[in-house]
A and B are shown apart, each in its own frame.
Chain A
């Protein structure tokens, strides 16, 4: 009878283990995405908008820490704060006062910077309609199994976001850009976070499926900045992103926190404004969406035991030795320069040629038709 109970418990144990294994495998493939991308945009110029650059860089830092590589991040910063001449500590951008956390770091790659951050470039990056000579690091090469995180920050209003103090993008344009992305199947799921004044107005016009949006304030409310640093002299971060960074610092690549926790970030008591979110277009339940689905990166690793034969490397053919002797060029050959032949100019007819030609034509005309017509001219 001991044997029977032993076998029974063994079977139960095996069934339990199999269940766990299948559950983990199920989790591995449940979200349906195979790669992660992030587009992080700061749209403000000038030194007093330091906090917008710090916002974007703190999200960049979290996203990199959780696994998305630089090749999958398109970072757009409209102005340079780190090496700005007004920065008392060059090559740093701080997010906490007393200069505790340098979000700029030592390993940062900014893809679009300065004057390149325009509405046109932003929409071209999203929709993929870039000129053919654009390098890979400036492209969003996502496909239909990509989860994309889009983060925007800057100055905004009811229905628009200001780019560099000279142009704006409206919520209708943004919704249309996402629809273009959906029709070209450029994303699997998209998370849109915006930290501006009246940020919720930017997502009210979305109509494409599988979009989830978060904003730092409702329509009619301003998003406030967190704290100034007296040594640097400007406000360092916005409240919403400050608490978002604090929340993300606790996330590690294997954590299981889901979107419902993200919606609770920065309640009214901390943020003064009311953060909003929109999930009606999203197909899955937000409670089942992990933070790392958007902020982290999926690494599909397949272990194989088979040997792979590599082809032989291409042997460069050693050509025959050149007979002539090379030499270095004279850097300032004065005599050669002075006696240089002038460049080929465009050929012009000699001076006065056109005038002479017209005089000839007039003379011939008056000779043929008589001098009486001459008085009509003069």
Chain B
């Protein structure tokens, strides 16, 4: 048969897509014996989705996300799926915070087709975007509609580069009830250039990942600076996966962790498409190796300033064949020798709970703790409460150390029944070493019977509060954003040296609304018996009751006298 060679295209005429893929895994042993593993996969692509001609040649960047960006004029997209709640006091701060359930926030572009004045345009695009994302990630994101979408006025500033921040282009929504399982992990893994076949992604096995205390997977898309001059932008896609393995569930109580124990897999090679593939193990609390021992030993050490602290890491470079040793596989082992030492106390953490009793009213309490001994710092609290909890904003109180603490900025948007939720944003200054309590009373609404979920007695969820803050840092932060840094330290952009940005999420609330009794037999019996008793009973009485005159009964003495008379045979009185 004909074996003519295919036509070769001149390589100089085809512009090579300048994209780059990096992967890293950070393992941080926690003081409670658990272990925190954070995967980050970053693809940077120098292209422009917003220009007129369509992008058609995709290499490392996934096509499904590229089409989403260009079709919906997205400037930034952040979506996360989380199972479990991050315990800040026991585990410290995560590298990428996320609330339980699903969270989606998007900044749209001011495009020619969608001017901001046509307010419905951004809403229409948002609705279509959530439907498309629900198909991509196999999640029920189509439940995001106007009843749980808010437009924050000061929180959630863009994480990428940009010059204008008009908050009319921002949309934020959470689904606290969203379940995360293998069907969400499967499409997430398929977005990676190497899939789950090579590199660090081979460790992502669902049976181990979901048997953990905390599991969060996220996709972040934003424009970043290409170089230090920052005249042109590239698109960055970060896929992050944070997981905390429990000491008793996964390690059977023994303080000895290894890659095989955590993920039931070992590493054999780096992803061939990756320009860098590294594992970092946090050994800051172990400077002389007296707390735990890491094997195989590595000579590479690196220091990075992350979350306000300078941490030291042992680095394993998977692109070097020597890392795998003679057995051609890498199974890191971390064995504890002693269990003293305490961890760095997190400076900011928050709690939230519902107080009150009964099914009519309640009170939401949000507590924010500032653990710094002498510095105070501002926090921005964002609360989005569904419409069926009617907040009484006149009962809003903010107290610190027993005294009233007036917020310097409040933005409140009341809810409209079945249309939009409450939005409360406040900028509060937290005094040093204190607890600030925000309370607001609410009343529970009675829903229409078709609006109840199939399991209404489970309760209804209220999404987590978001607390964004600039926390004073212990060491000077690195503000030079273009130096080569590990991925985990370059997530939040840093503008000043003395503080770092942190976002803390509180617990979601579960409230019971007054629920009608949906059990049919009870209702039918009650109704039928009532109808029978009232209807038939009255009819029967009407037809058969006859009135007779009756003499009033005599007193006791007369009755006794009558009895004696009867015995005597004499007629009664």
Contact = CB atoms under 8 A, between A and B. Distances in A.
Nearest to A312: B9
B247 to A, nearest CB: 17
B186 A83 contact: no
B15 A115 contact: no
A135 B136 contact: yes
Interface in B174-194: 177, 179-183, 186-187
Given A91-B209, A108-B186, A331 B181 contact: no
Residue of A164, A312, A319, A326 with most partner-chain B CB within 10 A: A326
Contact of B56 (A83, A313, A318, A329): A313
Contact of A135 (B83, B131, B153, B205): B131
A324 interface: yes
A309 interface: yes
A83 B206 CA distance: 10
Contact of B51 (A309, A319, A334): A319
A327 interface: yes
B309 interface: no
Residue of A137, A138, A337 with most partner-chain B CB within 10 A: A337
Interface in B193-213: 205-207, 209-211
Interface in A295-325: 305, 307, 309, 312-319, 321-325
A290 B300 CA distance: 61
Nearest to A321: B231
A136 B67 CA distance: 14
Interface stretch (B28-36, B159-167, B332-340, B438-446): B159-167
A116 B131 CA distance: 13
Given A91-B211, A108-B186, A316-B47, A330 B495 contact: yes
A27 interface: no
Contact of B163 (A45, A111, A326): A326
Interface stretch (B138-146, B313-321, B357-365): B138-146
A80 B210 CA distance: 13
Contacts of A136: 135
A46 B2 contact: no
A92 interface: yes
A80 B183 CA distance: 10
A111 B138 contact: yes
Contacts of B287: none
A92 B135 contact: no
A132 to B, nearest CB: 9
B468 A331 contact: yes
A242 interface: no
Contact of A343 (B153, B231, B427): B153
A108 B161 CA distance: 37
B236 to A, nearest CB: 12
Contacts of B161: 326-329
A115 B186 contact: no
A328 B495 contact: yes
Nearest to B55: A316
Contacts of B187: 109
A258 to B, nearest CB: 33
A340 B15 contact: no
B493 A338 contact: no
A334 B378 contact: yes
Contacts of B230: 325-327
A114 interface: yes
Interface string B53-92: 1111100000000000000000000000001000000000
Contact of B232 (A91, A322, A332): A322
Interface in B1-39: 1-2, 4, 6-7, 9, 13-15
Interface in B237-278: none
A134 interface: yes
B169 to A, nearest CB: 13
Given A115-B143, A326-B161, A328-B161, A133 B131 contact: yes
B117 to A, nearest CB: 12
Nearest to A308: B6
A106 interface: yes
Contact of A108 (B56, B140, B182, B469): B182
Contacts of B453: 115
B154 interface: yes
A91 B210 contact: yes
A325 B229 contact: yes
Given A113-B140, A113-B183, A307-B2, A315 B454 contact: no
Contact of B180 (A83, A164, A313, A337): A83
A165 interface: yes
A331 B464 CA distance: 20
Contacts of B153: 340, 343
B357 to A, nearest CB: 26
A161 B239 CA distance: 41
Nearest to B499: A332
Given A104-B182, A313-B14, A328-B493, A134 B501 contact: no
A110 interface: yes
Contact of A166 (B160, B179, B518): B518
A120 B7 CA distance: 53
A21 B408 CA distance: 85
A331 B492 contact: yes
Contacts of A337: 154, 380, 409, 427
Contacts of B186: 106-109
A80 B468 contact: no
A90 interface: yes
Nearest to A82: B181
B171 interface: no
B470 interface: yes
A264 interface: no
B211 A90 contact: yes
Nearest to B470: A332
Contact of A332 (B48, B134, B183, B501): B501
Contacts of A328: 159-161, 225, 481, 493, 495
Interface in A163-180: 164-166
Contacts of B378: 332, 334
B157 interface: yes
A89 interface: yes
B127 interface: yes
A320 to B, nearest CB: 11
A82 B7 CA distance: 51
Contacts of B7: 309
A305 B177 CA distance: 54
Contacts of A91: 181-182, 206-207, 209-211
Nearest to A113: B140
Given A331-B468, A338-B408, A316 B48 contact: yes
Contacts of B205: 106
15 contacts: A90-B210, A106-B182, A108-B186, A109-B138, A165-B454, A165-B455, A314-B54, A314-B56, A316-B48, A321-B231, A332-B157, A332-B469, A337-B380, A338-B409, A343-B411
Interface of B: 1-2, 4, 6-7, 9, 13-15, 47-48, 51, 53-57, 83, 127-128, 131-132, 134-136, 138-140, 142-143, 153-154, 157-163, 165, 177, 179-183, 186-187, 205-207, 209-211, 225, 229-233, 378, 380, 408-409, 411, 427, 453-455, 468-470, 481, 492-493, 495, 501, 518
Top 8 A-B residue pairs of the complex, sorted by shortest distance between their CB atoms: A135-B135, A328-B493, A83-B181, A91-B210, A133-B131, A164-B454, A90-B210, A166-B454
Given A307-B4, A337-B154, 17 more contacts: A107-B186, A108-B182, A109-B138, A109-B186, A111-B138, A115-B143, A133-B128, A327-B161, A327-B163, A328-B160, A328-B493, A329-B159, A331-B492, A331-B495, A334-B470, A338-B427, A340-B154
